Amino acid sequence: MTQDETTITVLAPADSPPPGLERIEARASVRQATDGDSLAQHLPGSDILLVTDFRTAALAEAWPQADRLQWIHATSAGVDQILFDELRASAVTLTNARGFFDRAIAEYVLGVILAFAKDTRANIVHQQRHEWRHRDTETILDKKVLVVGAGSIGHAIGSLCRNAGMQVSGVARSARAGDQVFDRIHATSDLPTQLPQADFVVIAAPLSDSTRGLFDAQAFAAMQPHARLINIGRGPIVDTKALLQALDDGQIAGAALDVFEQEPLPSNHPLWDYENVLISAHMAGDFIGWREALIDQFLANLERWQQGKPLHNVVNK
């Protein structure tokens, strides 16, 4: 496949086209789409679709117009928003940004663990009030971390936590032996028996039929009252009403949430007002320069595609 034969449609929000678009245009013919209507207009004749808007439903709407599509690349690790039944059944190759955000997300997780342990939020409040409040705080040495989702992100999280002196175990669809990061990897079906043993529970799993609503009232009831929940996976994995009840009842000591069932989180949502909840705007993996680096990753794969080489980060649809 030569440069002149390659047509790429870029699906991105109207207010944030990918930086470095000119570098893609130097390698192929590029069309830009921002919604379902414009995507339906540009998909016919396109070989490749680059999706930078991972929350979009536009692809499913415009799918009947994909007459020549061979490859879709998502600039996100999660692909649940764009992986609909027709795409699963098709021969179109799907790739993602697997591995790209791992280190940044792991740093976020370790950061919020330390923030909880050292009562950082209270320090900020006391500073704003000009109050001198001495307290004893926790140490994380030998604390137990349970990482739900033992993929590449989960391993990066586990690695940093282990290097910080914590004990780390994982949860995956099926049980398997431990490795250099996890003492042991338990099956999802064993989650109720593993939750009571954890000081910090980190959700790093993708959204699927088996993980949707996985953290419900029963799961929170199994956790220790001193334990904290950290979710950098997907919002719908946590039943928000059950989480609110668990916080109100003191079933868990707090939560750090980067993802939510509804995004953006409404300004009047009760989660904003909990002193033991840390909220960030789905940004755990977003480091300075990440948008440009994602285009670098895509261009490297594009070169492989144009040379007829196997693509990196192919998703098992």
- Tell me yes or no: is domain 102-279 CATH 3.50.50.60: no
Domain positions in the chain: 3-100+288-306, 102-279
Supply the pLDDT for residue 2: 44
Is 102-279 the same fold as 3-100+288-306?
A: yes
* pLDDT single digits (tens) 142-151: 999 999 999 9
pLDDT at 4: 52
Spatial distance between the Cα atoms of 165 and 168, rounded to a whole number of angstroms: 9
Q: What is the mean pLDDT of each run of 10 residues along the chain (317 residues)?
A: 73 85 93 94 97 87 96 91 93 95 97 98 97 98 98 97 98 95 97 98 95 98 98 97 98 98 97 98 95 94 96 95
- The predicted-structure confidence for 166-216, as pLDDT tens digits, reads as follows 999 999 999 999 999 999 999 999 999 999 999 999 999 999 999 999 999
Query: Pick the catalytic residue: 86, 263, 292, 303?
Result: 263
Q: Where are the beta strands (DSSP E) in the chain?
A: 7-11, 29-33, 48-51, 71-74, 93-95, 144-148, 167-172, 176-177, 184-187, 200-203, 228-231, 254-257, 277-279
- As assigned by CATH, the class of the 3-100+288-306 domain is alpha beta
Q: Is 263 a catalytic residue?
A: yes
Catalytic residue check, 42 = no
